[in-house]
Amino acid sequence: MPESADGRSSRRQFLSAAGTVVTAAGLAACATGGSNPPASASASAGLSAAAARPGSSGAATTAAPPGPGLMPGGAATAVAHGPRDRPQVALTFHLGPHEADQDLSLAHRLLTEAAELLVSITVFAVGQWLDEHRDLVPVILAAGNELANHTYSHPVLTALPADLVAAEIIGCRDVLARLAPAQGRYFRPSGTSTATPLILAEAGAAGYRTVVDFDVDPLDYTSPGADAVVARVRAGVRPGSIVSMHFGYPGTVTAFARIVTNLRTAGLVPVSVRDLLV
């Protein structure tokens, strides 16, 4: 894959940043059976902004919210894959709390490998976690990766009422706007593989036009091992696919380079979600 001089410089800067020592913390898992905060956690985390979300009865303004291309309106559209007539595949990763705290070295390993392979990934981050580990933001972005919204505290979103769904979406949106103003174009719900009508409505009210689902899920959060992750992605992927994976799992990190090699052997180009959905 060709790369510009600016791109090579960016990746050199990334590889330098990736060597920075970062404190240990938990990483993300999206299994509905995993560890998620109770519904009350969102409210106690100071997410009362939902009451004044654009489009709600309590809204004080209809101005566009922060973030690129965000505009409050009707229900968002759920997208599980991109165009099938282009040889592109988006590799997406969830980043946030994990039920067992792990050293951030796994995240750095995966990000470094993606940079070395000249692959841009899309990172769906949990806002509260990202705010607590903000030093990772420039490391993610230095190599041209994309940051997106994966709720504020990672609850099972389908178990929440509308006001807390809105609070989860808005809370992460505003963290991304503060830490990475050019990022945060897309939203993906937590605790579910399919966006419900309620989630789509609240995402639209928060300014998101697109909710990004996926059509390939290797279930890497169940720790099936690298070989299984590689095989499941290879079996499910097609042109336009969006693959869902997670930071924090050694098998996923080990599988990553083989997944990229298999895609390229099949004539498929790994890209970010923003490039896939152009």
Q: What's the predicted TM-score (pTM) here? A: 0.81
Distance of CA 188 to the CA centre of its chain: 7
Q: Which of the 8 DSSP states describes residue 216?
A: B
Task: Identify the pLDDT of residue 104.
Answer: 86
Least confident of 49-53, 80-84, 263-267: 49-53
Task: Identify the pLDDT of residue 50.
Answer: 41
Please name the residue that has the structure tokens 């993906």.
188
Digit-coded pLDDT (tens) for 144-165: 999 999 999 999 999 999 999 9
| Tokens linked to 127 | 């806002």
Digit-coded pLDDT (tens) for 210-257: 999 999 999 999 999 999 999 999 999 999 999 999 998 999 999 999
How many other CB atoms are found less than 10 A from the CB of residue 126?
A: 27
Digit-coded pLDDT (tens) for 183-215: 999 999 999 989 999 999 999 999 999 999 999
Rounded CA gap, 148 and 125, in Å? 6
Digit-coded pLDDT (tens) for 105-127: 889 999 999 999 999 999 999 99
Task: Identify the pLDDT of residue 34.
Answer: 42
Distances (CA, A) of 147 to 121, 140, 232, 261: 9, 8, 25, 24
Task: Identify the pLDDT of residue 32.
Answer: 47
